C-alpha cells in the first residue's frame, strides 16, 4: 500500500463518524443531515474504506480497528465526535477530521450511517461466564452489568448509548482494553471505566465474542 493510500485510509477513519456539532454546542446549532447526500459524501471522503457495511463482496467485515457504524445512533455518534473535538476522547486523525470537516458534510455522512440498516450478529449463544457478566455483572469487583445500559440484546434503550450487538469482536475487545487502561475515559459516568478496570484479558475476549454474536 502506498503512503498516499495509507494516508487516505487514515483520514477515512474519522470522516465516517463525523457530526456537525462542537463540544458544548446547543442543540439548535446541530445541522440536520441529509442521508441521501451523505452516502455520496461518505464515498468522496473515503469513509467507507474503513467504516463499511459488512458485505464480503465489497469489503472486509471488520478489521478490529474501526467501528461498524450501520444503524448506530446519531446521538451517540454526535457525542463521540464532540469528544474528539474537545479532546475528551483521543485519536489524532479523528480529532483532526472532527475539527476540520465541514459541519454540513459531517451531518449528512452521519445521517446516512444512522439510516443504514443495522446488521445483527449471527445469534451465537455466549458461554455461561460471559452471559453472567453481560447480564448481571460482578458486584464484588464493581463490574456493572452490560445489559443495564446496552440492553439485554445489545440494543440500548437510550439513544446516547451505543448499540453493541453485532459489533466487530476485535474492535470491542480493543475498546474494553482502552477503558481498562484509562486511555479511554469519555463516558458520561464512571461505570465503563470502573467495570472494565476489573476485567481480565480472558473476560474481555469472552465478552467481546458474546456481544459480537448477539442479534
Domain ranges of the chain: 3-115, 128-212
Hey, do 3-115 and 128-212 end up sharing a CATH topology, with the first three levels equal? yes
Reported pTM: 0.79
Buried b (16+ CB within 10 A) or exposed e, 160-186: ebbbbbbbbbbbbbbbbbbbbeeebeb
**Residue written as cell 440492553?**
151
Q: One digit per residue, pLDDT tens: the chain, 215 residues?
A: 444 444 434 333 333 333 332 333 333 345 679 999 999 988 887 778 888 765 444 344 566 788 888 888 888 888 898 899 899 999 888 888 789 888 888 899 899 999 998 877 776 666 789 999 999 999 999 999 999 999 988 889 888 899 999 898 999 999 999 999 999 999 988 899 999 999 999 999 999 999 998 88
Q: How many angstroms separate the CA atoms of 19 and 9, rounded?
A: 19
User: 3.65.10.10, 3.40.800.10, 1.10.760.10, 3.60.15.10: which CATH number matches 3-115?
Assistant: 1.10.760.10
**128-212: CATH homologous superfamily?**
Cytochrome c-like domain (1.10.760.10)
Is residue 174 within 8 A of residue 186, CB to CB? The reply is no
The sign of the torsion formed by the CA atoms of 176, 179, 180, 181 equals positive
Amino acid at each position: 500500500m502506498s503512503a498516499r493510500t495509507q494516508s487516505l485510509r487514515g483520514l477515512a477513519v474519522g470522516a465516517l463518524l463525523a457530526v456537525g456539532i462542537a463540544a458544548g454546542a446547543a442543540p439548535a446549532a446541530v445541522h440536520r443531515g441529509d442521508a441521501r447526500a451523505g452516502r455520496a459524501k461518505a464515498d468522496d471522503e473515503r469513509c467507507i474504506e474503513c467504516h463499511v457495511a459488512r458485505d464480503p463482496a465489497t469489503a472486509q467485515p471488520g478489521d478490529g480497528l474501526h467501528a461498524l457504524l450501520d444503524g448506530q445512533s446519531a446521538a451517540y455518534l454526535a457525542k463521540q465526535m464532540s469528544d474528539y473535538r474537545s479532546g475528551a476522547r483521543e485519536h489524532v486523525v479523528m480529532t483532526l477530521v472532527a475539527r476540520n470537516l465541514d459541519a454540513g458534510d459531517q451531518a449528512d455522512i452521519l445521517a446516512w450511517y444512522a439510516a443504514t440498516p443495522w446488521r445483527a450478529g449471527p445469534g451465537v449463544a455466549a458461554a455461561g461466564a460471559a452471559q453472567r457478566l453481560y447480564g448481571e455483572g460482578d458486584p464484588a469487583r464493581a463490574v456493572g452489568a452490560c445489559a443495564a445500559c446496552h440492553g439485554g440484546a445489545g440494543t440500548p434503550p437510550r439513544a446516547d448509548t451505543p448499540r453493541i450487538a453485532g459489533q466487530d469482536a476485535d474492535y470491542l475487545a480493543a475498546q474494553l482494553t482502552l477503558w481498562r487502561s484509562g486511555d479511554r475515559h469519555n463516558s458520561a459516568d464512571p461505570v465503563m471505566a470502573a467495570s472494565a478496570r476489573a476485567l481480565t484479558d480472558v473476560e474481555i475476549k469472552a465478552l467481546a465474542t458474546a456481544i459480537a454474536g448477539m442479534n
